[in-house]
Structures are given as C-alpha cells and as structure tokens.
Structure 1
Amino acid sequence: MSSSSRGYRVFSWFTLAFSLLVVLWGAYVRATGSGAGCGDHWPVCNGEVVPRAPSVQTLIEYTHRVTSGLVMVFAVVLCVWGLRAHAKGHPVRTGAVLSLVFMVTEAALGAALVLFKMVADNESIARAWWMGAHLLNTFLLVGALALTCWWAGGGERLTWRRQGMTGWLVVGSLVGLLTLGVSGAIAALGDTLYPATSLAEGLRQDVSPTAHILLRLRVLHPVLAVLVGALVVFSAGMVARLRPSPAVRRSAMQLGMLYALQLVAGLVNVALLAPVWMQLVHLLLADVVWIVLVRLSAAGLALGAPRTDVKLKSELSLS
C-alpha cells in the first residue's frame, strides 16, 4: 500500500471517529434539553454568528454546530481526495460520495429540527418521526463511512447478485438494526421528556393507558432488542459458515460479544433511569455494533469471498 493510500485510510478512520463524537454530542444536546440553545435560528445562533454571553444550553448547542461544520469539511475532503486518488470503478469512490451525501442530509435534518422547533420540550408525535428519520440517516452515514474505511484498507467491492441465503441474512440483519435504532431514538426521547423518579414509576408509565404515546412506545425497544439481537447473532453465525473468510469470522465473533455488551448496557440504562452518561454509552455501543455488522456484510458479500454454498451445490450435482 502506497503512502498516499495509507494516508487516505488513516483520514477515513479519523473522519469516522470524529463523526461518532459529533453524533454522541448531538445525543447530549437532546438529553440535556439544549436543542433550543440557539433559539429557532439556523445556521446562526440566536441571530448571531458567535453568541455573546451564552447560556450553558447555548454553549452545548453551539459546540454541536461547530463540530458538525468541521465534520462536513472532513467529508468534503474525504470525497474529493477519494475521487482524485482512486481510479474509476474503485469502491472507495462510491463510499466517499455516499458519505458526503448522507453528511449533507444529516445537516439538513438537524437544521429542520431546529427550524421546525422539534427540540427542547416539544412532545409531539411529529418530533418522534423526525428523531427516527435523523437516527436512520445517522446510521446510513456511519455505514457509508465504515464502508469507505473498509475499501480504503483493501476490501473488495461487494455484490448483491447470486448471494442466495447470505444476501437475505445480511438484509434482514441490517433492516433489523435500523428498526431497532429508530425505536431506541423514540425511547430515548421519552426518557428525556418524561424522566421517572424510580424504576417502578417508569414501568407504570410504560403500561399506563393514559400515558403519552412516547411512553407507551418505549416498551417496544427492549422487546425489539432481544428479538433483533437473536436475528443478528444467528445471521452472523450463518454468514460466517456460508462465507468462511477470516474477516467474516472475526466480525461475527465481535458482533456477538458487542451485542451481548449492548444488551447489558441497555439493562443498566433502564435500572439507572437513563442517566445522560449511560445514554451516550448505549448509543456508542449501538453505533459500534452497526459498524461491525456493516463490515461483516461487506466481507460476506465481497466478490472474492469464499462460498461454502457453491461448494455444496457442486458436490450435490456431482453425486
């Protein structure tokens, strides 16, 4: 690998890591109710480019905007560098372009949340839809960046053609985690808007027919976490058998351990009544689980991945 290629790979990982920090800070903005720290102004803050005598909430929101602007610059550099340094047809070009596209839509969704006042104490169901869309785009952005890192490190282009059971397992796992992530965003919003003073009170809120719909939806997240977890871990094990490359096996093992850790973090989050720091840990683990699943998918669907299903079909046809 040339020094230029190594440099691009390092920068792609740096952009991914910085993006995760921005995502976590965005969750901190929501968890602390600081989304209206700059009022309903965007991109300026309370009508000013640099706020004077800002409150704590303004500082939190303004910091998120500054770091979001920086990561946008990194995404532009990643895209331009990727297009210039790689020949036509190289998968890095696709990953870099998709990363920039999802970075732009991420910024647009963030701006819409502010401009439409879907922040702070807004408890409308519309805000839940916006939060779900924001989370969905965040996962797509992180996935595109993870693929760029994978391909920058020499990973082969993937294909969906003639993948059989492997393709279905991958699609089911990806859709399952995206659905789980959206339910997690809605559950976190409910925790922020309606904090419980005890675990018993929180459980009563979840099952009360008179509770706000955000609280009644909150109970879906742990149920989905168990169901989706079973699907993802089972699918990862099957893909490791069908596409037994070292990268797939390693990713499958990591995925199982990380998902178990994520479930434990979820239980701790519930038991501690969703403190801000635990919400951030829970979200970070969710992002890491998603990154590992994307890497497993890329390795399993790679053009040159070894295929035991093809070998089995060949043996059956000869017998």
Structure 2
Amino acid sequence: MSGTLKATGRVGAGAGVWLPRVAWAALIYNVLVILWGAVVRLTGAGAGCGEHWPLCNGVVVPQSPTLHTVIEFSHRLTSGASGLLAIGLVALAFVGTTKGHPARFGALLSLGLIILEGLVGGVQVLLGLTATSTDPARGFVQGVHLANTFLLLGALLLTALWASGGPRLRLRGQGRPGALVGAGLALLLVLGMAGAVTALGDLLFLPADSSTPVQTVRGDLGAVNLIQNLRVIHPMLAILTSAYLAWLAAWLRRERPGAQVSRWSAALWTLLGLQMLAGFANIALKAPGWLQLTHLLLACIMWLVTVMLSYAALTGLRAARPAPAPLRGAA
C-alpha cells in the first residue's frame, strides 16, 4: 500500500514513534537558529570568522576568539546541528514509512533547503557581505536568505504534519481557493524578503538623532544607496499584504468551512494585528534590537500559521479520503 507506514519490523516501529517528535523538534529548533542568526546581524558579528567559510578565520576551531567570533562561530555550530537534525529526519522517514509516503518528500525537501540555507550564508561570508557592508548585493542575498528560511520552516511544518498522520496535500483541482492561497503565500514571502532588507537598512542607515518618521523617509528616498532606498517599501507592502491575508482568512472560512480553518484564520487575524503593532513600534522607537527580534519571531509564527491555514483549507474537502496511516507505536 503506497503511502502507508511500515507495519512490521522493530526498526520501523521505533522510527515511527520518533519521526513526528523529531520533525516537530526540528521545526522549533530552526526557529531558534533563525533568531540567533538575527542576533549575529544585530551585533555586527557576521564578520567574526573573517571571510572564511566553512572554516572560521582559517581554522576549524578559533583560538583566543573575540566576542564577535564567538557569536558567529556559535551560529555556524547551531546551523550545522540543524543539518544533522535534518539528516536524521530523512533517515527516520525512510525507515519508518513506506515508499510514496509524503513525510519522505517533506524530509528530503527540508534537508535540501537547509543545505541551500548554508550555501547562501557561505556566499554572504565569502563575498564580504557582512558586518558594516553596504553593498546592494547584500540586500539581495539577505532577501533570498529570508525567503529560503520561510520555505524551510514550511517544509518542516508539513513534514511534521504528515509524520503525525495528516492527509497529503494535493494542489491539482483546488480551483480558486488554491490560486488565492498561493497568492497569499507568495505575498508573504515577498513581504519577508522586503522585511529582511529593511532590517538590514535599519542596522546600517537608521539615524541616531531625533528625526521624525517623515524626515527619515525623505532621507531614505533621497539616499544614493539602494538598501536605504528600499527601506520604505516594507511598511507599504505590509499594509497591502495584511489586508489581503485578513480578507483571505475570512473568505476561506466561508468557502472551506471547518473547525481547523476557523481556528487558524482567527490565529492569523490575531498575528496580523500584533505584527502591525510591532511594525509601528519599530518605526516609533527606531528599531531597537529586542523589538527587531520580536518582529522576526512574530513573522516566523505568522508564516507558519498561514501555512497551517492553507493546509487546512486545501485538505478540508479531502478529509474523507484515506490519510496516511498513523505511525506505528504512536497510537
């Protein structure tokens, strides 16, 4: 039976018990890694290992490291651990499920995105796009990094859902709901990329004086650096995306009614409100580090909630179809 979990064998049974646990743990762990990566940016420690990657200052373990080196090296260690966790997730998925089970695809996709995440970070270091660099290419790489991060979190979430016995996701035949959900997710990705550029611009160009928000915007528009110019796009895009997602959540409640859709649409509305408040506070308080971290955490949670809402809506009409068999030993 393609798509079912192994029902025999002690190895498969043990893997079946651990697969969902490891998948959920990997998701939570990667959110923490993302936040620590933001700490690296906020402290200017991105060049703590020099322009060396994967080595740190040309060695495996730095000797007599500075504080910036410790911060950057610890981020590399935690990122490497996420890769090992992803490899373990793939191994468990292939041992604990049979051919065709969606958890296998999710685990492989997660591993591929983690590898890509490391490569993007490596490119950033090797090209010197860290610390105080104002090269416009840094903004592009930062945006790609964030988009890949969101895709990774989405892949890990789906893997955890499938490993826990959730129905597989089919995109064909979804019609208008599928198109509108896809547009919402795409908008949120673009918003995240713009937010990454804005956060970088706040670090590099935010004036320390008592300039009003209007004066700051005028300065950004008249600046010669592209990263500073783009800082003004994120707030406008945030308003547009928030309005669309709020409407989409209400529309899905009507078109794909169900307890899960209602629950996740309400969660999305709450997060949209919190994010707007955090965004305005960022502008008013001139983006202090703790608030930037809060804003990023809320962004990660909002992305995951939007993926959950999309998953619930697109699988709701197929709930009567056989879902992947529960993991052996998990019942």
What TM-score comes out, normalization by structure 1 length? Answer: 0.92
Asked if structure 2 preserves the Cα contact closer than 8 Å seen for 1:158 and 1:299, the reply is no
Aligned equivalents of 1:58, 1:160: Cα separation in 2: 45
Asked if structure 1 preserves the Cα contact closer than 8 Å seen for 2:83 and 2:115, the reply is yes
Shift of 1:303: 6.9
**1:169-318 correspondence to structure 2 within 5 Å:** 169-198=180-209, 200=211, 203-208=214-219, 209-211=221-223, 212-302=225-315, 304-305=317-318
Aligned equivalents of 2:256, 2:15: Cα separation in 1: 31
Q: Percent identity?
A: 43
Distance 1:78 1:190, change over 3 A: same
Aligned equivalents of 2:179, 2:49: Cα separation in 1: 45
Aligned equivalents of 1:12, 1:241: Cα separation in 2: 32
| Residues 125-165 of structure 1: CA deviation (Å, up to 9, x unaligned) | 11111111111111111110011111122211111122122
Aligned to 1:132: 143
Asked if structure 2 preserves the Cα contact closer than 8 Å seen for 1:75 and 1:100, the reply is yes
Distance 1:94 1:195, change over 3 A: same
Aligned to 1:38: 49
Cα RMSD after superposing both structures: 1.8
Aligned equivalents of 1:105, 1:249: Cα separation in 2: 35
Shift of 1:171: 0.7
Aligned equivalents of 2:160, 2:207: Cα separation in 1: 41
Shift of 1:216: 2.2
**1:150-169 correspondence to structure 2 within 5 Å:** 150-169=161-180
Aligned to 2:328: none
Structure 1 letter corresponding to 2:22? F
Aligned to 2:116: 105
Q: 1:15 aligns with which of 20, 26, 30?
A: 26
Asked if structure 1 preserves the Cα contact closer than 8 Å seen for 2:167 and 2:319, the reply is no
Aligned equivalents of 2:135, 2:178: Cα separation in 1: 38
Distance 1:303 1:3, change over 3 A: farther
Shift of 1:250: 1.0
Asked if structure 2 preserves the Cα contact closer than 8 Å seen for 1:243 and 1:305, the reply is no
Aligned equivalents of 2:316, 2:275: Cα separation in 1: 31
| Residues 49-89 of structure 1: CA deviation (Å, up to 9, x unaligned) | 11111111111100100101111100110111112211122
Shift of 1:215: 2.1
Aligned to 1:317: none
Structure 2 letter corresponding to 1:97? L
Aligned equivalents of 2:167, 2:255: Cα separation in 1: 17
Shift of 1:305: 3.7
Q: 1:70 aligns with which of 60, 71, 81?
A: 81
**Higher relative contact order by CA 8 Å / sep ≥ 6: 1 or 2?**
2
Gaps of 5+ in 1: 308-319
Structure 1 letter corresponding to 2:302? V
Aligned equivalents of 1:6, 1:203: Cα separation in 2: 56
- Which segment drifts farther, 5-14 or 214-223? 5-14
Shift of 1:6: 4.2
Which secondary structure state, in structure 1, belongs to the residue aligned with residue 46 of structure 2? Answer: coil
Shift of 1:306: 6.5
Gaps of 5+ in 2: 6-12, 321-331
| Residues 179-206 of structure 1: CA deviation (Å, up to 9, x unaligned) | 1001100100100111322462554232
Asked if structure 2 preserves the Cα contact closer than 8 Å seen for 1:269 and 1:278, the reply is yes
Q: 1:80 aligns with which of 85, 91, 96?
A: 91
Asked if structure 2 preserves the Cα contact closer than 8 Å seen for 1:16 and 1:145, the reply is yes
Aligned equivalents of 1:278, 1:300: Cα separation in 2: 32
Asked if structure 2 preserves the Cα contact closer than 8 Å seen for 1:37 and 1:58, the reply is yes
Asked if structure 2 preserves the Cα contact closer than 8 Å seen for 1:248 and 1:296, the reply is yes
Aligned equivalents of 2:42, 2:204: Cα separation in 1: 9
Shift of 1:245: 2.3
What TM-score comes out, normalization by structure 2 length? Answer: 0.88
Q: 1:147 aligns with which of 138, 149, 158?
A: 158
Shift of 1:22: 0.7
Consecutive aligned runs of 4 or more in structure 1 exceeding 6 Å deviation: none
